[in-house]
Chain A
Amino acid sequence: MAIEATNGKKGWGDQDQVPGIKSELLELNMGPQHPATHGVLRLLLHTDGEIVYKVTPVLGYLHRCAEKIAEGVDYKQWVVYTDRFDYLAPMTCNHTYVTAVEKLGGIEVPARAEHLRIATAELSRVASHLIALATFGLDMGAWTPLLYCFREREEILNLLERISGGRMLYNYMVPGGVRYDLPRDNWVADVLEFVTMMEKKKLPDYNTLLTYNKIFIERTSDVGIITREDAFAYGCTGPVLRGSGVKWDCRRDDPYSLYHKFDFEIPVGMGEMGTVGDCWDRYIVRVREIEQSCRLIRQALEQLPEGPYQSIELKKPVRVPAGAAFTRTETAKGELGHYIVADGGQKPFRNKVRSCSMCNLQVLEKIGVGLMVSDLVATVGSLDIVLGEIDR
């Protein structure tokens, strides 16, 4: 009976290739507890042996409904929740939110505060990219770069702890400025020293250890290719978009804060090791962005102006006139956006967060099909998602 049914002519999703033997796709739950899903992501896979036939991301394991909480706390109080979005680069998320509130409320920000914001946000970005490199290497089975990257991240955490008091969740920026001025020690000199060390010594280290390793290139080039068209259609942003060869960076092309004053370049994927938009391209974009972030940190701190660092006293609540605006900024993972609907009160009427990791992950449904399980792991790693931000 089975022979008539299959006729030996199926396969690829509608199995039963061998007459007389009933076979079907393997349903595989990758996650929510899985070493390669970078958090509590669950990927429901349908596989044909090693080949993935269908990927269905299942989200919500870290859902806290921060948007609902936003409606109940006032504008300043909600900054702490933005820390918990992208907990690997909280400064950049802080920056997005305060920029959104300031734009809507017409709040002036002192230049000193903006310089400090840029310096800390870029430090955070470096830390986040270091984790991205580290865990991407780990997904490939390279353990050692992980420890190297964490060693440097530790330095960044120490520096950010000295300025903000927190090691992971900083709550540093407030609408109208930053919470604290520079610490009274030689923080600036230490940051500049770190940045120089990063550029001169550490990045070449990573490049020899991982980037130009033959096995690593074999594993990542021509894998998980996101074309330019797909990247736009799926709303990919950040290093994923730039990895697909699009020279686009919110910091330069849709400027906010004081980024237009500084000089930096936008690295893009060029298909050096394979096709434009493959995993290696997304990886190398992050490596080169670390370099550019270092440049930005140096400029922001060397040109640090004197003056106040807050335009609104810390204890005063922020008042935002009625209106609605969408603001996006470039975080480490992509363009984080806030659509704030204000009703003139002390609390937002609605605060919708446009999660960049969510849009970046969505493309996996398309490009994940036909990859091997190992390549899928590489692709998820190269998208560099963070579940705190997807689930909010």
Chain B
Amino acid sequence: MEAMYAFFMDKAGMGQAGAHVTVAAIMATLMFIVMALCALVFTWMERKVAAFLQSRWGPMRTGRWQGWAQAVADMLKILGKEDIIPAEADKALFIFAPLLVLLGSLLAWAAIPWAPGFVAADLDLGLFYIFAVSSMVIIGILMAGWASNNKWALYGAARGAAQMVSYEIPLALAAIPVVMYTGSLNTQDIVIAQQGGIWNWFIFRNPFLFVSFFLYFVASIAETNRGPFDMPETESELVAGYHTEYTGMRFAFFFLSEYANLFLVSMIAVLLFLGGWWAPIPGLDFLPAALTFVIKGVLMVFLNMWVRWTLPRVRVDQLMHLCWKVMIPAALICTVGAGLWMMASGAAG
């Protein structure tokens, strides 16, 4: 980043403002490309993981090797689909909703520290910012469900809104012990604080953080609306939930945002608990920082898929019960416990 600023200011002769705009544009484009790419990769990966867990092959034809081009082919197909807007739908909202959903997940990507110094927006409130903007997804889902003028979509949207609003609380609470340890909301600072091998990762710092990690993981599954908490979709109950009426590219936006969100929460888990770009053992230091980070993220995504394709879905009231009566108290206990542990071990600061 610094190098890029220096390059544009000194070599290309731009002013400070010009350099800022150029770098921001480059980073935004890069993020979007990475996001679209990861959606492609993860669709393929999800199919292969599901197939592996279900003792079948999954896509094998398109692109010869393990059907790698299936996701590309699907995207092309989905681009060519007819775009249908129901006659009774609220047109403006119907069109805007998928964009808002996508925007919510895209904005959050800005504060992800891929490697030392390599972050699109190095904010002091980075973590806070990520949680804040990713809440926009809820508005998009609610909007989509309402605008579709379909009862199933409305059900999905109402469930989705209730679920995501509720699960943001344990999600954020689970991150608080980490913030207490680091003393900063800056995402880079959080990663830097975990330097020095696997035992310095926050997940292994103390038992409360260990529990916090699992709370975060469960809440993040609910936050991304994936099984066993896929209430807004629940394809066996609500047909397809909030995106029942969506077709073609607009549907693809929801799809894209689901996988973008999936990778986002996995990367946040990595940066909060799993040491960010630091290699687990010194022997793996030779890997580039960004690569280490992405590998850990992909492993988390795999874990997420594993859970999705193994477990049945919970009911909507059980979901709420789990959130308000189990996870939030547990997260609060972890926060207090981690604080006490910190004081006891003198690690504050």
Question: Contact flags (1/0) for B239-253 with A, using CB distance below 8 Å?
Answer: 100000000000000
Give residues of chain B (289-336) contacting chain A, Cβ–Cβ below 8 Å: 309-318
Bound together, the chains give a CA A144 to CA B49 distance in angstroms of 11
Question: Contact flags (1/0) for A205-218 with B, using CB distance below 8 Å?
Answer: 00001100101101
Q: B310's contact among A144, A147, A375, by CB below 8 Å, is which? A: A144
In the assembled complex, which residues on chain A have CB atoms less than 8 Å from the CB atom of B16?
none
In the assembled complex, which residues on chain A have CB atoms less than 8 Å from the CB atom of B56?
147
Q: Which segment of A133-141, A233-241, A248-256 sits at the interface?
A: A133-141
Number of interface residues of A (CB under 8 A): 29
For residue B345, CB closer than 8 A to chain A, the reply is: no
Are B237's CB and A216's CB within 8 A? no
Chain B, residue nearest A29 (CB):
B151
For residue A28, CB closer than 8 A to chain B, the reply is: yes
Are A218's CB and B309's CB within 8 A? no
Bound together, the chains give a CA A344 to CA B260 distance in angstroms of 72
Are B312's CB and A141's CB within 8 A? yes
Are A374's CB and B234's CB within 8 A? yes
For residue A151, CB closer than 8 A to chain B, the reply is: yes
Are A140's CB and B312's CB within 8 A? yes
Are B316's CB and A142's CB within 8 A? no
Question: Contact flags (1/0) for B34-58 with A, using CB distance below 8 Å?
Answer: 0000000000000000100111100
Question: Contact flags (1/0) for A134-165 with B, using CB distance below 8 Å?
Answer: 00011111111001100100000000000000
For residue A377, CB closer than 8 A to chain B, the reply is: yes
In the assembled complex, which residues on chain A have CB atoms less than 8 Å from the CB atom of B227?
141, 143
In the assembled complex, which residues on chain B have CB atoms less than 8 Å from the CB atom of A218?
314-315, 318
Are B234's CB and A144's CB within 8 A? no
In the assembled complex, which residues on chain B have CB atoms less than 8 Å from the CB atom of A107?
none
For residue A35, CB closer than 8 A to chain B, the reply is: yes
Are A140's CB and B316's CB within 8 A? no
Among A36, A139, A143, the one with the most B-chain Cβ atoms within 10 Å of its Cβ is A143
Knowing A139-B236, A141-B227, say if A147 contacts B315 (CB, 8 Å): no
Are A141's CB and B155's CB within 8 A? no
Are B54's CB and A142's CB within 8 A? no
Are A372's CB and B315's CB within 8 A? yes
Are B228's CB and A374's CB within 8 A? no
In the assembled complex, which residues on chain A have CB atoms less than 8 Å from the CB atom of B310?
142, 144, 209
Are B236's CB and A36's CB within 8 A? yes
Bound together, the chains give a CA A141 to CA B152 distance in angstroms of 17
In the assembled complex, which residues on chain A have CB atoms less than 8 Å from the CB atom of B53?
144
Are A151's CB and B55's CB within 8 A? yes
For residue A34, CB closer than 8 A to chain B, the reply is: yes
Are A35's CB and B315's CB within 8 A? no
Are B315's CB and A219's CB within 8 A? yes
Bound together, the chains give a CA A28 to CA B315 distance in angstroms of 19
Knowing A142-B312, A147-B55, A375-B315, say if A215 contacts B236 (CB, 8 Å): no
For residue A373, CB closer than 8 A to chain B, the reply is: yes
**What's the least CB distance linking B45 to chain A, in Å?**
16
Are A35's CB and B235's CB within 8 A? yes
For residue B230, CB closer than 8 A to chain A, the reply is: yes
For residue A108, CB closer than 8 A to chain B, the reply is: no
Are A215's CB and B311's CB within 8 A? yes
12 A-B residue contacts at CB 8 Å? A35-B236, A35-B239, A50-B316, A137-B312, A142-B310, A142-B313, A143-B50, A210-B312, A216-B312, A218-B314, A219-B318, A377-B236
Not counting A148-B54, A218-B315, A372-B317, a sample of 14 additional A-B residue pairs whose C-beta atoms are within 8 angstroms of each other reads: A26-B151, A35-B239, A50-B317, A141-B312, A143-B54, A143-B309, A144-B50, A144-B309, A215-B311, A219-B315, A219-B318, A373-B155, A374-B237, A375-B315
